[in-house]
Structure 1
């Protein structure tokens, strides 16, 4: 991985390009070994460190600030992450494929060797089994009727079962009508147990043995019932859903670096003066643009009086009335643009990210190059950047900047 990185001129690659290279190359390099072996913790941490340093910059000779913690980066985009694969979870998902192959490829030579030497253990929490003629499914202890074993769904009935290790085939009785379920219990049921008994047999009667068909394993996380590493990985990383405006950031016709900055700004992790103070820098906190208020990402992108002129310009171009929310996250979450019409919706959705990028670049020029702030130049930069980012997505759209302004203002 280090050799691969040495060929890339990382200092010339934007953040969007780095994310793409991590997805396509760095994260896939150890796939083969992870599908065969359990990755040692030290190796995993080393590989993740290489990916982090490539994403945020830095390396052996320099150290740059990692704005967002790696656990958040590894979340799915819909949950506020970048969709970078967590190596530990991916390693588990890849190795679990062997469990699936062990259940499905029973005639393979390697499968017969393992079963002959070590035997086989039935059932786990991620598979559902479907009844057939071969006896490989435990009636009480395997997942085949519902989303959990019958011994968990009906514990009091399981306690009364005569054979707690009975196979599904043993409980099924064939008859002229097809068959019926006949589990054996140690005593007659009491009156207060009849409701649970009824629920038990209602659940059983939804299932029938398929004569002449072998038992088979079904993967519950896919519609087709076949195992995939992607579905297992997704189920392992999915936690509590996070409200995050992912579509307003990633499903917009702008450059990846612009979307990346929008993502960082939404999490409030851009290196504004208040963030530098939290990281231990002894700095006076004053907005570089208005010189009146303390600088934060919400102030510099939304509430600064200099920046508000851009928002007023944007609203006047589209002919809409809008009240800005308190945070960047709330702004992007409510930026749907259903009222601007289908023709202009793409430009409207790209507008906040283009505005954020223009303001941030201008702020950095004022802060580090000591350039004077010009409101007229700021407005012109924003309109030009918005046009340059969206003109390729507009079918038969305006060919000049002046035509673009008129086109946006048209109803």
Structure 2
């Protein structure tokens, strides 16, 4: 798979130039993504041919990383930092020919040691008539040398510690957008006031629903008076014990401790997630449109949206509005 690079001192990754504006985003992702202490971009390496399309210092073509990182003192005194490989190295009479462009003579023991190490590394390099190509040299390259997105995904998954991060259980009968919202809220990745303040965006501290207390994920969905009353309404409707939650995680795991089984447990799990979704929408309406917070409207929206999604998305289930309103008949 022949790919190209861009000359930007170290931010070299094998992507096609046709990516255009997407290029800078890909560069940033590959530069900051680290798997087991190794930058993701370093799993790509040039298979050298004629050396005409490979940067001697900046591309990763020999050794564990680009030469500019392995020999920083020599790179510092290099006059042409983006020179190509074929300009610095060639073969003549079965001997490796090296050509340097130093700004000044080598002047320290450390520079001389780097020079010895570099020459030793280059002693076995031979150029040929083939074109330079970028290759995938990830851990699975021995089994599958051809690059694919699947291999990168497997590498990222193998380097991640899934035991550290809590991932909320997915509710199958509500849309993905709602499940994703719950997941992001649990990680603190929604734009609550405290999250914005941490990013130096000053929007005050007051909760957008109750107007009392500092707005955070835990406050908005568990401590806020509006949310607390909503959960009381839902528990009364579902005929279950009142929700006692000290954190957002406690709230979205409540269905496991409700005493319900089967369909009712599944419905309660979805209703709590829908309640969070509707509370967040009501908070945004109040903050950005100055709308009045109406608890009856919020509760009615949870019942209405819940019935719409459950009746249309739950397979092999036929539920009437009357039975939905009488939760015990489910």
Q: Normalization by structure 1: what TM-score?
A: 0.45
1:360 maps to 2:284: no
- 1:48 and 1:354 mapped to 2: Cα distance? 38
Matches within 5 A, 1:171-250: 230=150, 233-237=153-157, 238-249=159-170
Deviations 1:65-93 (A, max 9, x none): xxxx979xx99xxxxxxxxxxxx749948
CA gap of 1:310–1:282, structure 2 versus 1, over 3 A, is same
Shift of residue 243, structure 1, vs aligned partner: 4.3
1:295 maps to 2:199: no
Q: Which residue of 1 aligns with 2:295?
A: 375
- 2:232 and 2:243 mapped to 1: Cα distance? 10
1:386 maps to 2:306: yes
Shift of residue 318, structure 1, vs aligned partner: 2.6
Q: Normalization by structure 2: what TM-score?
A: 0.54
The 4+ residue runs of structure 1 with deviation greater than 6 A are none
1:395 maps to 2:316: yes
**Equivalent pair of 1:332/1:352 in contact (CA under 8 Å):** yes
Deviations 1:90-142 (A, max 9, x none): 9948x8xx9xxxxxxxxxxxxxxxxxxxxxxxxxxxxxxxxxxxxxxxxxxxx
**Equivalent pair of 2:194/2:205 in contact (CA under 8 Å):** yes
**Equivalent pair of 2:255/2:265 in contact (CA under 8 Å):** no
CA RMSD of aligned residues (A): 4.0
Q: Which residue of 2 aligns with 1:310?
A: 230
Q: Which residue of 1 aligns with 2:202?
A: 282
Shift of residue 376, structure 1, vs aligned partner: 1.0
- 2:248 and 2:198 mapped to 1: Cα distance? 19
Moved more, 342-351 or 359-368: 342-351
Deviations 1:20-55 (A, max 9, x none): xxxxxxxxxxxxxxx554866356696475589xxx
CA gap of 1:232–1:369, structure 2 versus 1, over 3 A, is closer
Q: Which residue of 2 aligns with 1:321?
A: 241
- 2:226 and 2:298 mapped to 1: Cα distance? 9
- 1:252 and 1:51 mapped to 2: Cα distance? 32
1:410 maps to 2:318: no
**Equivalent pair of 2:231/2:243 in contact (CA under 8 Å):** no
Q: Which residue of 2 aligns with 1:341?
A: 261
- 1:303 and 1:89 mapped to 2: Cα distance? 42
Shift of residue 236, structure 1, vs aligned partner: 4.4
Shift of residue 258, structure 1, vs aligned partner: 1.5
Q: How many residues align?
A: 219
The alignment partner of 2:273 has SS state of: helix
The alignment partner of 1:248 has SS state of: coil
Q: Which residue of 2 aligns with 1:127?
A: none
- 2:153 and 2:305 mapped to 1: Cα distance? 39
Shift of residue 295, structure 1, vs aligned partner: 0.9
CA gap of 1:226–1:399, structure 2 versus 1, over 3 A, is farther
Deviations 1:296-333 (A, max 9, x none): 12111121011111111222233222543332234335
The alignment partner of 2:271 has SS state of: helix
- 1:257 and 1:364 mapped to 2: Cα distance? 17
CA gap of 1:36–1:242, structure 2 versus 1, over 3 A, is farther
**Equivalent pair of 2:193/2:203 in contact (CA under 8 Å):** yes
